[in-house]
Amino acid sequence: MATKAISDTSFTDDVLSADKPVLVDFWADWCGPCKMIAPALEELSDELADQVTITKANLDDAPDSAAKYGIRTIPNLVLFRNGEEVARFSRAAPKGQLKAWLEGALA
């Protein structure tokens, strides 16, 4: 399952009302580190599809959501469960570190 692009318009339905945990990758086209972790997030989306939905919120498409959750640096990964933020990872990292963090946050 590939990552899903979301926006301010779809944020409530895709993230806050989701029936399983949702990881939101806040990113931008001009962000080099964001582009570096994108392939790892695509792979993790497939590997962990039964546990979490991985979404991507481009700051141009989700400025209100980014502001609401205090996104000041990118990449910024925010994990939501039952409509609430439960964990945050605010830097680029290799796939192994991203997976370990995400699996720990989901446990």
Active site (catalytic) residues: 31, 34
**How does strand 84-89 pair with strand 76-81?**
antiparallel
What Rg value do the Cα atoms of the chain yield, rounded? 12
User: CA 44, CA 6: separation in Å to the nearest integer?
Assistant: 18
